[in-house]
Chains A and B, each alone.
Chain A
Amino acid sequence: MAAGPYGALLDAVRGVRWPAARRVNGATLGAHPSQLRGNSSEFSEYRPYRQGDDPRRVDWRLLARSERAYVRLTTDKATFRTSMIVDASASMAFPQPGLDKWRLARELAVALAAVAHAEADPVGLAIASEPPTVFVPRARRSVLLEMMRALDATTPDGSAPIAPLVSSARAARIVVITDLLGDADAILAAARLRVAAKGEVILVHIVATEEITPPEQALLAVDPEHPSVRRLLDGAMRNKYREQFTRWLDEMVASSRAAGIRYIRVLTDEPAPHAVRRVAGETARRGA
């Protein structure tokens, strides 16, 4: 597979495991513990036979020794359909000219997809652009390459909504990579519904370091999605800006947790492999 500029990143995240947060509901053999138990060869435990159990699962050898009927239980593994939803609004094209937020979002999407794909999970992609680009989750080998091409061909612009993509995603695990500067409330509402439906939603909040501490030459700040918003950022305003921005970040964390959404904030100065391990590692701990 020609990974192009993502080669080093994929090498860095090779071996990272990203188990599901809870038992998955799937019949396809995969790497995640399934809610189904039965035919697997991996023994788990014995349970006294109950009426209705399949007689083929009774351990006859144990019955002969102890004259008690036990059913042999095994742990099934299943695949976990995962979809990446990437925010491609104008606010992601920041800071100029490096576009660090968009670069980091692309790398996280590709790396997380690669990690999931390595565990045989079907992975999909939805780019919140105008019009949106959607790849349904697939497990075939070329899916990563298609995702890379689609992301590389996209230029962040406009202010396309993300919430519809969250609602329509055909995956049990959804990773929303966004800066939450668009339809944040709608995203949280849609994610809350997915969580209620036993889905797993991970909100990766991309924050540029320049947004936390704007450079000194930024005297007149202009919102790229709303050019009419032009604000003066002098000394006194900087402090007020930091206060309001920090308060908003805290509100996003609280709202996400209240909705059962995993909230992970990633700054643009954090290496993408590290952020990927953080996402996957925390998930693993919670699932353990």
Chain B
Amino acid sequence: MTFLAPWAFAIGVLGAVGVVLFHLVARTRPAAYVLPTARFIPDQRSLVSRIASRPRDLLLMLLRALLLLVASAAFARPVLTPSRGTVGHIVLVDRSRAAADVAEEVTKARSLVPAGAPLVLIAFDSTPIVLRGSSWDSLAALKRSDAAGSLTAALVAARRASAALSELVDSVQLHVVSPVSRSELDEGTTLARRLWPGAIDMQRAALRVDSAAPAWRMSRPIPLSDPLGPSVATMTSGARGHVSQLTRGSLTAGDSALIRDGGTVVRWDSTVTTRMAAEGLAVGDDVIVATLGRLSIPSRGRVVARWADGTPAAVEEQVGSGCVRSVGVMVPAAGDLPLHPPFQRIVRGLLAPCGLVGAEVASDSIVIAAMVGGSHVMASARELRARVDYPSPLARWLLLAALLLALAELALRRRGPVEAAA
């Protein structure tokens, strides 16, 4: 057992020593001696202070000293010293809608952790579920969720769980078993990643098959000077596969040919000037609030994006085997809005071919490398230990024992004064 506040116990020890001294150096009434001529002694106090070689009441002294020690031990926040292992493991298993097979992820995660190692399992979608101990069966029983995943929430949960785990081990290894789709990352992910002081073992899992749509591309690249450019800068362009083409202004013959071939033409006008205002825009699960302008769009077609007040912001209409999507969102030509990941996700969703809006897209290797971290050093338990107070289960029992000792001391004291031996 060790104490988190040893100074409190030290005070108790000093108090116990004081009690012993108090019992040794005590004002005692000496033994009575029958003297018929006692009346000739001047009357004065009949108590004397003396140093005794033995305490005047051994039981009471022990009781009082024990009371102080137990009470101070309770306030010193005792914790039982565990048998420390070398490495503890925290495994984040993705059960969001982006995961292809949760059972396969569990199998992969199980292979990462040695049997018997201290372990905390966290299954996450938008909300993390912490399973302490070896709860593989419980984890495998969890089904895939329909909610979007949040790696940020999972990392925060892992950081919280690491504080308790760090009391048991010297180092903690964090494993993330996830497809790491782009929808699982947000602006807080980087901050949450910084909370973890060591490297993260990233284990990529398969994206969900029906959402892992075939790759699509822009028919022609969008210049980086365009506000929409940064969102698709890493995408390849060409005419194969699912193709999408951005059109500023009216449709051209080339656009019609692309539609005839089954492609998607996105009409996103940027030439019309309109009044900008703070607007909320939602595309699937992605929402941004930014200074945007509203453009008129056809009233027919399927709504793929809406403003915060519910009015359509983008609609798409099937034309033959192709598709025409009209986007009524005016993006400011200046500003850093195009650099914001949520805006980029919305842009990618609005530029994606029809039927692929909201599909999960795997993060690129740069994101994964950033998640892993520069070093491969596991997080030290000392860095993970929380500075917050943990309730000590021993303290309750020690306080109860102190209370009982106090009652016993009271009863013993009321037993009556103890006459000192002469």
Contact = CB atoms under 8 A, between A and B. Distances in A.
Interface of A: 90-92, 94-96, 179, 181, 208, 210-211, 214-215, 217-226, 229-234, 237, 240-241, 244-245, 248
Nearest to B30: A219
A172 B31 CA distance: 46
A193 B31 CA distance: 44
Nearest to B41: A231
A245 B40 contact: yes
B81 interface: no
A96 B48 contact: no
B contact patch SS:
loop
A248 B46 contact: no
A245 B37 contact: yes
Contact of A222 (B33, B45, B422): B33
Contacts of A226: 39
B29 to A, nearest CB: 7
B422 A231 contact: no
Given A232-B41, A240-B42, A223 B48 contact: no
Contacts of A244: 40-42
Interface residues on B, range: 20 to 34
A241 B41 contact: yes
B42 A231 contact: yes
A218 B36 contact: no
A241 B39 CA distance: 9
Nearest to A219: B30
B80 interface: no
Interface in B81-138: none
B411 interface: no
Given A232-B41, A232-B46, A245-B40, A211 B422 contact: no
A237 B44 contact: yes
A92 B46 CA distance: 25
A245 B41 CA distance: 9
A181 B37 contact: yes
B38 to A, nearest CB: 4
A123 B370 CA distance: 127
12 contacts: A219-B33, A221-B35, A222-B32, A222-B33, A222-B38, A230-B46, A231-B42, A231-B44, A231-B46, A232-B41, A232-B46, A240-B41
A222 B35 contact: yes
Contacts of B32: 220-222, 230
A64 B397 CA distance: 128
Interface in B167-226: none
Contacts of B45: 232
Contact of A231 (B29, B34, B38): B38
Nearest to A95: B34
B336 interface: no
B38 A229 contact: yes
Interface string B264-281: 000000000000000000
B30 A211 contact: no
Contacts of A245: 37, 40
Contact of A221 (B29, B38, B48, B422): B38
A218 B48 contact: no
Contacts of A218: 33, 35
CB-CB nearest 8 A-B residue pairs:
A91-B36, A218-B33, A231-B41, A219-B30, A221-B38, A221-B35, A244-B40, A223-B38
B285 interface: no
